[in-house]
Amino acid sequence: MANQVSYSGQIDVPGKTMTAAVLRGKEDLAIEQVAVPVAGPGELVLRVGAALTCGTDLKVYRRGYHAKMLTLDRLFGHELAGTVVSTGEGVTRFAVGDRVVPLNSAPCDICFFCKAGQQNLCDDLLFNNGAYAEYIRIPARIVEKNTLTLPESMPFQHAALTEPLACVMRGLEQSDVTAGQTAIVLGAGPIGLLFIHAASLQGLNVIAVVKRKDQIATAEHFGAKQVVRLADVEDPIAAARALTPEGRGADVVFEAVATPEAWQWAVQLARKGGLVNLFGGPPAGTIAAFDTNLIHYSDLNIKASFHHTPSTARAAFDLLCSGRFLCEDFLTGSSTLEELPEVFRGMLTRPAEGTAPEIKIAIYPHPHAGVPAAEAVAVEVA
């Protein structure tokens, strides 16, 4: 039986239902009334303070599913932060009123991969979705292993950057980056920009390869020392390599576009003995062709980073809390939950050249969150 709590601040639930986004099919996102979740043993129920749009969610929206994260007719979204409004039996680390950021997964820590230090590949990796809703249930394993308490000064929308940044921190960790190295980042979407910013904060000299004119200034703002725009050069590979020390190529290349062409370019942009991280995930069945002689005789290291681990989640969270990370600059818009289907339809079409780049949109399920409730509301979620 979950706890029954009285919370005198921001709760405005009309009974036992809430508004939530449900994925019904390819490009079919419905805003519906569903049951308020119940906190079982070891679980939390959060009032969502803010959720963020994400490239992965956009891929799921386009395809109607994700092989590991969710299928049709499920609550949608996975980047969020919020306030604890209910605790299940046995929860001791968190209390009603705590402001927290839950990651969207947690490993088992007992399978082969977990014991090998590869928790992101856990055989029983538990995913959680439902960020685009007024309330969300956090499973016990995520509560135990991958939920963090926010500093009082940290806005929910900043904390919600933890999950995507945790994936990027995993990519940097797996690539053994060190200050002073030269890195090329292919792509200046949300993940590409996170790579540019995080790598530059770790002291790498970052060269960005971008498609759109407006992405030049954005990449530079987040730390790119030099930027190559595809339309401005005849040979993007030659142009980017020319910016590296002695033109030999980058020490490490991060591919954040998720196309076969970008994967092929990434291999050609690395120096001999360099490392290529094929971070972007194309659709299942996608084939990319590589020059085997180039890979072999250049002694290239090729990796493909997937997801995050509890340790990189904490590394990401610490960076967000440090004051060094430009959290607010990654948030280029805001919207209500009811407007979410329109937001995703808009994300399918890239903005016209010359318009401000869109990185992440903050979704606020409670648009009047700053206005205290007239009186305490008893929220029964049992």
Q: Same structural domain for residues 154 and 40?
A: yes
How many distinct structural domains can be found in the chain?
Answer: 2
For residue 372, give both structure tokens: 């205290």
156 and 221, same structural domain? no
Q: Token pair for residue 222?
A: 């987040």
CATH of the domain at 260: 3.40.50.720
Q: Give the pLDDT band of residue 5 (cuts 50, 70, 90).
A: very low
pLDDT at site 307: 96
Strand partners, 223: none
- Residue 283 has a pLDDT of 86
Question: Which of the four pLDDT bands, split at 50, 70 and 90, describes residue 293?
Answer: very high
CATH code for position 22: 3.90.180.10
User: Among the three residues 270, 303, 336, which one is the final residue of a domain in this structure?
Assistant: 303
List, for residues 29-63, the tens digit of each pLDDT value.
Answer: 999 999 999 999 999 999 999 999 998 899 889 88
Is the same domain home to 141 and 191? no
Q: What is the pLDDT of residue 349?
A: 85
In a domain, 52, yes or no: yes
Contact present, 64 and 199 (Cβ < 8 Å): no
Mean pLDDT for the stretch of residues 255-266: 97
pLDDT at 13: 46
Q: What is the pLDDT of residue 368?
A: 58
Task: Inform me whether the pLDDT recorded for 356 exceeds 80.
Answer: no
Q: What pLDDT, in 10s, does the model give residues 276-291?
A: 999 998 888 999 999 9
What are the structure tokens assigned to 313, written together? 């989640």
Q: Are residues 255 and 149 part of one domain? A: no
Specify whether 192 is located in the same domain as 328: no
Domain-ending residue, one of 256, 271, 303: 303
The yes-or-no verdict on residue 292 having pLDDT over 80 is yes
Structure confidence at residue 353 (pLDDT): 66
Q: Are residues 148 and 96 in the same domain?
A: yes
> Does residue 216 fall inside a structural domain?
yes
Q: What percentage of residues in the chain have a pLDDT greater than 90?
A: 83
Average pLDDT rounded to a whole number, residues 301-327: 98
Is the per-residue pLDDT at 163 higher than 90? yes
- Mean pLDDT over 193-203 rounds to 98
Residues 129 and 236 in one domain: no
Considering the domain architecture, whether residues 190 and 321 belong to the same structural domain is answered as no
Residues 6+ apart with CB under 8 A from 234: none
SS3 220: helix
Candidates 166, 174, 164, 168; CA nearest to 275 is 174
Which of 276, 303, 330 terminates a domain? The answer is: 303
pLDDT above 70 for 180? yes
Same-domain check for residues 206 and 127: no
Range of the domain at 109: 4-165+308-380
Residues 85 and 107 in one domain: yes
Angle at 209 between CA 203 and CA 214, to 5 degrees: 105
Residue 132 in domain: yes
pLDDT at 65: 66
Residues 158 and 10 in one domain: yes
Q: Mark whether 38 and 183 lie in a shared domain.
A: no
Residue 231 covered by a domain = yes
Query: What average pLDDT score do residues 239-261 get?
Result: 98
**171 within some domain:** no
Q: Judge whether 79 lies within some domain.
A: yes
Tokens at 141, concatenated: 């394993």
Most confident of 9-18, 59-68, 227-236, 364-373: 227-236
Q: Reduced to 3 states, what is the DSSP secondary structure of residue 40?
A: coil
- Does residue 170 form part of some domain? no
**Confidence (pTM):** 0.91
Mean pLDDT of the chain: 90
Q: Is the pLDDT assigned to residue 172 strictly greater than 50?
A: yes
